[in-house]
Amino acid sequence: MCPPTFFDVREPKNPYMGLPIDRAKAQQQWEDLRRTLEDAGLKVEVIDAVEGLDDMVFAANQVFVGHHDRLGDFIVPSRMRYASRHKEVPFFIDWFWQRGYKIINLDLDGECLEGHGDLLWHPDHSRIWAAYGFRSTRGGVEKFAAAMQELGFPVIPVQLVDDHCYHLDTCLCPLNDEAALIYPGAFSPESLQTVRGAWKRIHELTSAEARQFMGNGIVANGRFITPRMTRNLEHILAQENLMPVVVDTSEFEKSGGSVFCMKALIE
């Protein structure tokens, strides 16, 4: 995680961005999320925030993190769509490099790839879901897919079509090997078919739920950490034996992100 010391909303990069943030409240919400993750049994490691990098708090985006039997731990650095976020990436590369991660650099010239915003491991790590449309580009996803293919990880590309779901982590939330939470309206018809065909159980969020980041949850040790709750989501989580834990992320939602965006799972 990256603390929100310099978090701000300046340049609008998605439809949620516009209102000013309350930095003290943001700090409090970030601490609450950190404690919630620790209560769920996760160890939290922190990267220093850097002045001027307003979105660095969204630690899901700067690199894709993986583990390969032969190669060991690795990252694939992102090429962010907005120039204002380019500078975040080297700080994350450095952090991982110091901890022994291999760096897989793609030649992303002219393409974009936004880490775990658009790239999600299937829970059993057998394949990777990769979205393009708003932030990552199709070409970026193709280059990523070629590199992962070499490591033996198949990549499933999907196209996003709703600008309120500009990252895959806002509309596809794997719950376990068999079940996923999705907002169907976020996908092109063909991609929606692909998603539906790959899971035994698909649970659907409404557009209003997706826009309130209920598809941006974190699954951790039997818990589902979410910024809010509805009867529908409650019902879904009960079916999948997940215990809901609600954490307020109002200040980060003003930047278009919630709990999932605010961390990278490194193991």
- Contact region with ligand ARG (CB under 6 A), list: 27-35, 224-232, 240-248, 250-258: 250-258
Tokens of 253: 């939602």
* Binder of ligand ARG out of 60, 113, 120, 259 (CB under 6 A): 60
User: Could you give the string, one character per residue 206-245, with x where binding to ligand ARG holds by CB under 6 A and - elsewhere?
Assistant: ----------------------------------------
Rounded-to-integer distance, Cα 125 and Cα 123, Å: 5
Q: Which amino acid is at 131?
A: A
Task: Determine, following the binding rule CB under 6 A, whether residue 133 of this chain makes contact with ligand ARG.
Answer: no
* Binder of ligand ARG out of 143, 167, 211, 223 (CB under 6 A): 167
Task: Determine, following the binding rule CB under 6 A, whether residue 140 of this chain makes contact with ligand ARG.
Answer: no
User: Could you give the string, one character per residue 112-131, with x where binding to ligand ARG holds by CB under 6 A and - elsewhere?
Assistant: -----x--------------
Count of residues interacting with ligand ARG (CB under 6 A): 15
* 3-state SS assignment for residue 73: strand
Q: Would you put residue 121 in left (φ > 0), alpha (ψ -120 to 50) or beta?
A: beta
Tokens of 21: 């943030």
* Binder of ligand ARG out of 255, 259, 263, 266 (CB under 6 A): 255
Task: Determine, following the binding rule CB under 6 A, whether residue 176 of this chain makes contact with ligand ARG.
Answer: no
Work out whether the CA dihedral 117, 238, 234, 161 comes out positive or negative: positive
Question: Distance between the two ends of the chain, CA-based, in angstroms?
Answer: 13
Q: Would you tell me which residues interact with ligand ARG (CB under 6 A)? A: 13-14, 55, 58, 60-61, 85, 117, 167, 169-170, 255-257, 261
